[in-house]
Amino acid sequence: MENKGQKKLLIVGGGFAGMNLAREVMKSEAYQITLIDKNNYNYFPPLLYQVATSFLDPSSISYPFRKLFRNEEVRFRMGELIRIDPVQQIAYLNDAELPYDELVFATGARTNYFGNENVKKYALPMKTIDDALLMRNSLLKTLEQASTCTDPEERRKLLTIVVAGGGPTGVEVSGMLAEMKKNIILKDYPEIKNSGGEIYIVDGGSSLLAPMSEKTHEETKDVLIKLGVRVKLNTRVTNFEHGIVTLTTGEMIEAKTLIWAAGITANSFDGIAPEMRGAGQRMITDEHNKVNGLNHVYAIGDSAIMTTDPAYPRGHPQLAQVAIQQGRNLARNFIAMANNKTLKPFIYFDKGDMAIVGRHNAVVDMFKHKVHLKGFAALFIWLFIHLISLVTYTNKLRTLYNWTIAYISRDQSLRMIFRS
């Protein structure tokens, strides 16, 4: 029920940034909050690869917005933003027009194919729940196809996978696939024993997990190699067509599957002029996350690039922690604005970086790489941080149960092909 005097706050996007903003601002009665998202659920992107590799069910990492905000002072509107009119202060959705007093873009990012149309057409991205389910079905269908294939060379090609991108997503999915190949696939598909097939990870940089420490670079590469993954650095994918992955070195890899985890770009909308966008199409903001050149329009998380933070003059990394902290800081500023108090500029507190490599290997860098952990301690921290970051206790319990079963049995029973 609307109260007189409340400002209309539209939050576009229900990811890390949007969710944390909504949850904090709803503590104030100064705003009528509407959260807009093209999906009717929130989900946890860092664990998408586990859905894609059949270790988690989609419901373990997702939750419906309407149930999440039941009896709360947040309205949900399922829709897709098309453009905004910053003069009239109207947001145009695919099916409605919504006026606003304050508008926040928390629209995240999409897969960046760097203009490569063949890669866009044939590769498997991993940015959404839909992408993860598509990948799961594709991988399982390919295994079924390989189990009945009688041509040894064709079967080897079917069982070869190339992962493009050496960031956390690429490293984690490569490790998971290698563990599956070692512990699961030969049990489920005895027909493909001794059929060959390789897992490659390809990255254009000189190391995997580039933003992390040198120790992490070396340990991650060593673990993946021990798991049987072929690591190719200083190399990029230039084409993928007719089952052939072409690299910048000129090498061609026959592979049925190319998993694309090589880059992202911010979502863009009409009404935001080109000069208001910076690197990666991110909206340029001031220290309070207000979009430069616009009034009452803000951007947070992957949508924003801020150069006023002294430690990050080229903008913050596009990480979950940045989105969470910006959402919470902007919420405090909205409440401060309502009470005519001073706003607080955003300063990012780096809590560290981490990645899991295979079943029981993890790496963690904390305090700006001054503390480095690996092995069981790092694995425990990775599990704990990801578990507590899930949005509800239902998600936490379901995920913990699935992880426990998978760790003890080295297996999981989610390898079903569900067709839309």
Confidence label for 146 from pLDDT (cuts 50, 70 and 90): very high
Is residue 291 predicted with pLDDT exceeding 60? yes
Lowest mean pLDDT among 150-164, 288-302, 328-342, 389-403: 389-403
Query: Alpha-carbon torsion 407, 411, 413, 415, what sign?
Result: positive
Distances (CA, A) of 3 to 30, 32, 113: 9, 8, 46
- The two tokens of residue 398 are 């379901």
pLDDT digits 0-9 by tens, 75-97:
999 999 999 999 999 999 999 99
Q: What is the pLDDT of residue 208?
A: 97
- The two tokens of residue 332 are 């405090």
Residue for token digits 């003069």? 87
Write down all domains in the chain, each with its CATH number in brackets. Answer: 7-38+79-111+264-338 (3.50.50.60), 117-262 (3.50.50.100)
Mean pLDDT score, 303-332: 95
Is residue 199 predicted with pLDDT exceeding 80? yes
Of 413, 391, 416, 390, the C-alpha closest to 402 is 413
Average pLDDT, the chain: 93
First to last CA, the chain: 38
**Dihedral (Cα; 328, 330, 335, 338), 10-degree rounding:** -170
| Long-range contacts of residues 130-137, Cβ cutoff 8 Å, at least 24 apart | 131/48, 131/52, 132/48, 132/49, 132/51, 132/52, 132/58, 133/51, 133/52, 133/58, 133/418, 135/52, 135/259, 136/51, 136/52, 136/53, 136/54, 136/417, 137/417, 137/418, 137/419
Of 228, 348, 246, the C-alpha closest to 289 is 348
Q: What is the pLDDT of residue 83?
A: 97
Mean pLDDT score, 359-366: 87
Is residue 3 predicted with pLDDT exceeding 70? no
Mean pLDDT score, 225-232: 96
Mean pLDDT score, 167-193: 92
Is residue 313 predicted with pLDDT exceeding 70? yes
| CB-CB contact of 391 with 63 (8 Å) | yes
pLDDT digits 0-9 by tens, 22-79:
999 999 999 999 999 999 999 999 999 999 999 999 999 999 999 999 988 899 999 9
Q: Which residue has the higher pLDDT, 211 or 247?
A: 247
Percent of the chain residues topping a pLDDT of 90: 83
- Give the pTM: 0.93
Q: What is the pLDDT of residue 33?
A: 97
- The two tokens of residue 393 are 């206790």
Alpha-helical runs (H) found in 211-275: 214-226
Q: What is the pLDDT of residue 195?
A: 87
DSSP string of 5-41?
T-EEEEEE--SHHHHHHHHHHTTSSSEEEEEEESSSE
Q: What is the pLDDT of residue 402?
A: 87
Is residue 336 predicted with pLDDT exceeding 60? yes
CA 232 centroid distance within chain: 23
